[in-house]
Structure 1
Amino acid sequence: MEVVAMNLISLDVRMLRSLISVVETGSITETARRLGRTQPAISLQIQRLEDLTGRSLITFDNRRVVLSEDGALVLSYAKSIVRMHDELLSRLASPQIEGHVVLGTPDLYAANILPPILSVFCRAFPRIQVELRCVLSTPLVSQVKRGDVDIALVTRMNDFTGGRVVHREQLIWMVAAGSRAHQESPVPLALLPSGNIFREHAIAALDSVGRPWRIACVSESASGLLAAVYAGMAVTVLGRSALANGLRALDDDGFPPLPSVELLLYKSSGATSAAAGALHDYLQHYLSLGPMPRVGT
């Protein structure tokens, strides 16, 4: 029987980490700053990665990073490899860390973004107890600054200061599959309370195209908004991560485009424990890598 030998190559995790950061930031300069390397070193790592794979991965078009088809494939695997690499090191190095950490976030992120990250974290740090509190972004920022919450993941509002941008979430119009709410005039809307940036973007977008609207539901939780949407009562605006079975995005239905929003990670000045530091660093790292697979998939 003929045995076919494969010419295996080895990819350095540092190359993969550099690729992820360059795509995320759109900048070799910013990547060098984040990773503590020089710009020539980052460029060399990307070049070396292309040499090893034998593929062109990224190009720069007017300072914008453009991924090739092969680059997108390598990026998807790079994120998984880096996650597994860092999880392994965490589990080996810090199983003895223990403590109690209060994490605050809106229920939208608690349901759709955090579960896979917290699942990995709890396996890596089995002695850390995480208390999850679901609160809207504006009161959460006040709570973390008072020390009532150790760490908070929130949506950046116009008047927020501090925090670190760790993720961007694209806003979309969504409606229940089979619903005709989006065809009504005025458009019935299910929105968060006044002062929330999701609400502001939704109303501003409709006003910009002269499309009439009315408020059909106001809720402080995403689950309340989705209840109205599933009932066929309204259209809502949420992050794309909230798009689930039974919902559809109104991408081609005449609704104006919406911007993305930034997610900020805050840590209370009083949260000095090793447990709080471990959770903060984990969230910062994994959120910056982009969406993780859902638990159980």
Structure 2
Amino acid sequence: MVTPLDLDQLRTFVAITETGSFTRAAEEVFRTQSAVSMQMRRLEERLGKTLFEKDGRNNRLTTDGEKLLLYARELLRLNRETLAAFDEESLEGHIRIGMPDDYADRFLPEIMTRFSRSNPRVEMSIICEPTVNLITQIQQGLLDVALVTDHAPAQMVRREPLLWVGSANHETHRRAVLPMAFGRPTCTWRQHGCTALDKIGRDYRVMFTSYSATAIAAAVLSGGAITIMPECSLRPGMRVLGEADEFPPLPDCVIGILRRPATQMDVVDAFARHITESLDNISATLIETSEDVDFNNGMRHMRRAKRMRPDHILPGW
């Protein structure tokens, strides 16, 4: 019979990657640093794989270490969900959640599924509006937590390349005057796009304006416009446009969690944790699910997205 993996060892392994330090991980799991080092040696022996490699005075996760990290987080999540299913004192209550609909299609199913399994007694109210509206509602106490874009006070949970996108079935990007589809004038991505095009003197005209990501995507897929979106929002039939198409580079898109001021709700803390875990899981599968997107000259963005994964440089044993 195959001996199962030790969840305590996996918990320590994840703590090391999240804190970036064996010493800080030891504090997180209430063990000595020597005990943490011994746990990692036993875990490597159990798997028959090297999880860390020397990088100067530091240790870096190997390819096998990065692979294990995905499974370790999933196993720990399933363990929490199993215990929660039999916990009669599990979290209860109501949480009000907001996020832009650019993210809702991609992120919401994963987040909702994970959270509801672990917290079946919590009711969720969800709204999808632009970041500027979500910030106002957080400040007014109308939302408990929101996933927002490029807002400094928010806790950053994900960084993605921002891409120029057109239809894979049309040559819209070759028009003398580019037809553009954007969010409202307050949209940060719109401002980045207009500034970049103005800077290189590329002629364009805003043809479609909408808060709806679905409407923007429809304009693009029909060949009616070019737009800007983060990698997570790409859909089959879209084409990423790069420098060879005379489209300038754009800044990254930063996604963060914003909480209602002064909130001390355990359910909000739990939901924020589930957002982070869900986005980690989505990061692991994003490239696989993007196979139907034509990256054409935008392949540099795919390589860039891979480099944005944490290097997991860790202090010595």
| TM superposition score category, shorter chain reference | 0.7 to 0.9
Distance in 2 (alpha carbons) for counterparts of 1:177 and 1:65: 43
2:18 matches 1:28: no
Equivalent residue of 1:120, what SS? helix
Distance in 1 (alpha carbons) for counterparts of 2:161 and 2:185: 20
Alpha-carbon shift at residue 178 of structure 1 (Å)? 0.7
2:91 matches 1:136: no
Q: Deviations over 1:48-82 (max 9, x none)?
A: 54343232334476899865443343233233223
For 1:182, the equivalent position in structure 2 comes to 173
TM-score (norm 1): 0.76
2:254 matches 1:262: yes
Distance in 2 (alpha carbons) for counterparts of 1:142 and 1:280: 19
Distance in 1 (alpha carbons) for counterparts of 2:212 and 2:145: 20
2:113 matches 1:122: no
For 1:214, the equivalent position in structure 2 comes to 205
Alpha-carbon shift at residue 23 of structure 1 (Å)? 5.3
1:12 is aligned, of 6, 20, 25, to: 6
Alpha-carbon shift at residue 149 of structure 1 (Å)? 0.9
For 1:229, the equivalent position in structure 2 comes to 220
For 2:271, the equivalent position in structure 1 comes to 279
Give yes or no for contact 1:169–1:262 (8 Å, CA) kept in 2: yes
Equivalent residue of 2:139, what SS? helix
Report 1:101-180 matches (<5 A): 101-157=95-151, 160-161=152-153, 163-180=154-171
Q: Cα RMSD (Å) of the superposition?
A: 3.7
Distance in 2 (alpha carbons) for counterparts of 1:284 and 1:236: 27
Alpha-carbon shift at residue 130 of structure 1 (Å)? 0.8
Distance in 2 (alpha carbons) for counterparts of 1:39 and 1:211: 60
Q: Percent identity?
A: 31
1:36 to 1:210, Cα distance in 2 relative to 1, 3 A: farther
Q: Deviations over 1:71-122 (max 9, x none)?
A: 3432332332233223223333366533222111111122211211202222
2:93 matches 1:99: yes
Alpha-carbon shift at residue 226 of structure 1 (Å)? 0.8
Distance in 2 (alpha carbons) for counterparts of 1:59 and 1:214: 52
Give yes or no for contact 2:93–2:122 (8 Å, CA) kept in 1: yes
Equivalent residue of 2:142, what SS? coil
Gaps of 5+ in 2: 290-317
1:129 to 1:238, Cα distance in 2 relative to 1, 3 A: same
Q: Which amino acid aligns with 1:108?
A: D
2:184 matches 1:193: yes
Distance in 2 (alpha carbons) for counterparts of 1:249 and 1:208: 20
Gaps of 5+ in 1: 1-5
Distance in 2 (alpha carbons) for counterparts of 1:72 and 1:200: 36
Larger relative contact order (CA 8 Å, sep ≥ 6): 2
1:261 to 1:65, Cα distance in 2 relative to 1, 3 A: farther
1:80 to 1:97, Cα distance in 2 relative to 1, 3 A: closer
Equivalent residue of 2:147, what SS? strand
Distance in 1 (alpha carbons) for counterparts of 2:229 and 2:115: 26
Give yes or no for contact 1:147–1:271 (8 Å, CA) kept in 2: no
Distance in 2 (alpha carbons) for counterparts of 1:239 and 1:258: 10
1:242 to 1:53, Cα distance in 2 relative to 1, 3 A: same
TM-score (norm 2): 0.72
Distance in 2 (alpha carbons) for counterparts of 1:258 and 1:71: 32
1:70 to 1:215, Cα distance in 2 relative to 1, 3 A: same
For 2:74, the equivalent position in structure 1 comes to 80
1:233 to 1:120, Cα distance in 2 relative to 1, 3 A: same
For 1:3, the equivalent position in structure 2 comes to none
For 2:315, the equivalent position in structure 1 comes to none
Distance in 1 (alpha carbons) for counterparts of 2:54 and 2:162: 26
